[in-house]
Copies of this chain bind each other. A is one copy, B any other.
Amino acid sequence: MSGYGERYDQYYTAVEAALPGYLPREETLQKTVQEAMAYSLLGGGKRIRAVLCLAFCQLCGGTVEEAMPFACAIEMVHAYSLIHDDLPCMDDDDLRRGKPSCHIQYGEAMAVLAGDGLLTLGFGTMLDQHHTGKYSPQRVVKAAAELAGAIGSAGMIGGQVIDIQHEGKPITGEELDLLHSLKTGALIRASARIGCIVAGAPDDVVARADRYARNIGLAFQITDDILDVTATREVLGKPIDSDRENQKTTYVTLYGLERSRQIVRDLVQEADLAIKGSVLDDPFLYQLADRLAQRDR
């Protein structure tokens, strides 16, 4: 078994190599939106959702190749959510990963459509696997249904709604938990679950993967809040202290830095417990949880 960094790099490199192949080939008249989709999809990022999907599929007896179209589809959906979140009417962010946001680069109309296009392409990429004959239709439909359940108005979109509606308003710790569990947690959990589903894992394993992902997802988000006040603009590639500027309630404003760091440690421990003694009991997942909570960007 190779070390953590090496293994993450292997997954990451495989995802980066595979992603462009799922983009539509450029037609004359719709070229701009397809460029905008490529700009945002291939614009970097840690690919943590794809890595989770690939890793869980492998741990459940599947292969990286099997999970790849599903992992790439999840990254498309993640990219769509970032494009729409950055829009002037939403979070109004001009920078994403140190580069102009999609609407700054391509204009607002094209950014809305590029987001719509990536969301649709995410579903299409999963569903098209049916035609390859490599997957049972049951697994394809189950994976795509997981995605739809995770990112709708009762999932990721609902999280963004709560976020926008509470901007500049007080929010309780419970509401903040719900916000994060929907806005970022739902898709991270779906990533792990879909990896298991593609490999045909039994329900109890899917449930363990879900519990692991739920905890690291929240740890990831709280670490984001911590970094927003501690990191420098250069390291982060986006404006720092943007949460305070936008008057957002975060774990840090609610609990302070030290207590927030302790919550992260507790969540990582919870994640560890979820996989302990199961087929998912693998050094990579323990280290992934640790690193997510200790990252400096």
Contact = CB atoms under 8 A, between A and B. Distances in A.
Interface string A64-86: 00000000000000000000100
Interface of A: 24, 27, 29-30, 32-34, 37, 84, 87, 89-90, 107-110, 112-113, 115-117, 119-121, 123-124, 127-128, 130-131, 136-138, 140-142, 144-145, 148-149, 151-154, 157-158, 160-162, 164-165, 175, 178-179, 182
Given A89-B112, A112-B84, A148 B120 contact: yes
Nearest to A37: B153
Contacts of A160: 113
30 contacts: A27-B158, A29-B161, A29-B178, A30-B154, A30-B158, A32-B161, A32-B165, A33-B158, A33-B161, A89-B108, A110-B161, A110-B164, A113-B160, A115-B116, A116-B119, A117-B152, A120-B148, A120-B152, A120-B153, A123-B144, A123-B148, A124-B145, A124-B148, A127-B141, A128-B148, A131-B145, A136-B137, A137-B137, A137-B138, A141-B144
A116 B24 CA distance: 21
A211 B73 CA distance: 31
Given A117-B157, A120-B157, 10 more contacts: A33-B161, A89-B108, A110-B164, A116-B119, A117-B152, A120-B148, A123-B144, A124-B145, A124-B149, A141-B144
Contacts of A27: 154, 158
A148 B131 CA distance: 14
Contacts of A179: 29
A47 B87 CA distance: 31
B84 A24 contact: no
A128 B148 CA distance: 9
A179 B33 CA distance: 14
Of all A-B residue pairs in the complex, the 3 with the closest CB atoms, nearest first, are: A124-B148, A30-B158, A89-B108
A165 B119 contact: no
Contact of A119 (B24, B120, B162): B120
